Amino acid sequence: MAEKDIIDLRSDTVTLPTQEMMEAIKNAELGDDVLEEDPTVNRLENIAAKKMGKQAALLVTSGTQANLISLMANTNRGEQVILEAQSHIYWYEVGGISSIAGLFPKTVISRTGAPNPKDIQVAITPKDIHFPKPSLICLENTHNRHGGTVISPRQILAISKIAKTNKLKLYMDGARIFNASIALNVDVKKLAKHVDNLMFCLSKGLSCPVGSVIVGSIEFITKARKLRKVLGGGMRQAGIIAAPGIVALEKMIKRLKEDHENAAHLAKELSKIKGVTIDLNRVQTNIVNFEISNLGISDKKFIKKLKEKNILALTLDNNKVRMVTHRGIKKENIDKTINIIGNISN
């Protein structure tokens, strides 16, 4: 992005703020947000809460901080949290769920990121002197490691019923919830409706430079605000972060469709390359995971060869490669990428 001829497919986090965002930053009305006096932050939080159909919202520094704060605000130390085995919280957040929140993670394996309600029911340990007390279920929508797969309102509802029956809270890591909303063609409120609280990232496909937002009840957000402070996330004139966030929520959501179309195009063309294995059913949003075991080249070498051609991608494990589409990627970039991968295989 910064360098024009680089095709950066590593993540949608590489998106740079739009001109309109830069203007909004420059013109933002500011105050001290620890004192809840930054009018731009307050406006963003109001817009976010309304958009999700929840009572309140809180701007935080990152998705990782949003998840950590939410874990802590939904539980007490020593309790059990049920989450999908490939979830971001479990894999990519430095184990903060245990080292900072003091929680015991219990994983549930799923095929595409949406846990089967029955498996969740089984994972909930009964009341017993030996077991940690289960208190929270976490969902991830879209699901990052599963390749940007979506969880539908119907699936969320089924899990929420189990949460209610067992008196557990239900939280959603919705880092890319707007991608899910666009892909499913449902209002994001419907995805938020049956969870107690959730977070989403401004800094990914929505193109903001910084920030994530937690949404939930007033009581939950009040707790979250205090936790944000103890974790060092209390910011002062945070309006400079909130201002592009407002632009994101008002103007950047609909265009995610373009990213999904580019991802679908990339996936379809990849599926025609001999040696590439890809499950097209799993390419539902802006993430494309594929396997290159039969290409006769290691994943590290594959990435290196792409890099020589100014194309950046990431490896997962087991010869898996990940490519993510975003505002900085146009259809012609996809075509060029396909061309180059086609030649690597030869």
Size of the site for ligand PLP (CB under 6 A): 12
Spatial distance between the Cα atoms of 38 and 44, rounded to a whole number of angstroms: 10
Tell me the closest approach of the beta carbon of residue 210 to ligand PLP, in angstroms.
9
Quote the CA–CA distance of 29 and 31 in Å, as a whole number: 7
Among 15, 40, 42, 64, binds ligand PLP (CB under 6 A): 64
The DSSP secondary-structure symbol of 174 reads -
List the alpha helices (DSSP H) in the chain. Answer: 19-27, 39-52, 63-74, 88-91, 96-99, 117-123, 153-165, 177-184, 188-192, 218-230, 239-251, 256-271, 299-308, 331-344
What is the distance between the alpha carbons of residues 345 and 66, in angstroms, rounded to a whole number? 41
- Mark the segment that binds ligand PLP (CB under 6 A) among 23-31, 60-68, 151-159, 272-280: 60-68
**Out of 79, 84, 140, 299, which residue is the one contacting ligand PLP (CB under 6 A)?**
140
Residue 269 sits in the site that holds ligand PLP (CB under 6 A): no
Q: Taking contact as CB under 6 A, which single stretch among the options 29-37, 57-65, 217-225, 307-315 is the one that binds ligand PLP?
A: 57-65
By beta-carbon proximity to ligand PLP, the closer residue of 218 and 230 is 230
* CA angle 138–144–147, rounded 5-degree value: 130
* Among 15, 40, 62, 181, contact with ligand PLP (rule: CB under 6 A): 62
Break the chain down into helix, strand, coil percent, rounded to 5: 45, 15, 40
Residue closer to ligand PLP, measured from CB, 74 or 203: 203
Residue closest to ligand PLP when measured from CB atoms:
63
Q: For ligand PLP, which stretch binds (CB under 6 A), given 44-52, 56-64, 74-82, 121-129?
A: 56-64
Question: What span, in angstroms and rounded, lies between the C-alpha atoms of 130 and 328?
Answer: 52
Q: Could you say which of 144, 149, 285, 325 contacts ligand PLP (CB under 6 A)? A: 144
In terms of CB distance, is 65 or 160 closer to ligand PLP? Answer: 65
CA gap 208, 196 in Å, rounded: 26
63 touching ligand PLP, by CB under 6 A: yes
Taking phi over 0 as left and psi of -120 to 50 as alpha, with beta for the rest, 223 belongs to alpha
At closest approach, how far in Å is the CB of 203 from ligand PLP?
Answer: 6
Give, as ranges, the residues between 171 and 210 that touch ligand PLP (CB under 6 A): 173, 175, 201, 203
Nearer to ligand PLP, 62 or 285 (CB): 62
**Which of these segments, 61-69, 116-124, 152-160, 261-269, binds ligand PLP (CB under 6 A)?**
61-69
Q: How far is the CA of 180 from the CAs of 139, 189, 284, 290, in angstroms?
A: 13, 11, 8, 20
**Residue found under tokens 């890809």:** 278
User: Is 259 near ligand PLP (CB under 6 A)?
Assistant: no
**Maximum Cα–Cα distance for the chain, whole Å?**
61
Report in angstroms how near the CB of residue 140 gets to ligand PLP at its nearest: 5
Entry field: residues in the chain:
346
Report the interface residues with ligand PLP, using CB under 6 A: 62-64, 67, 88, 140, 144, 173, 175, 201, 203, 212
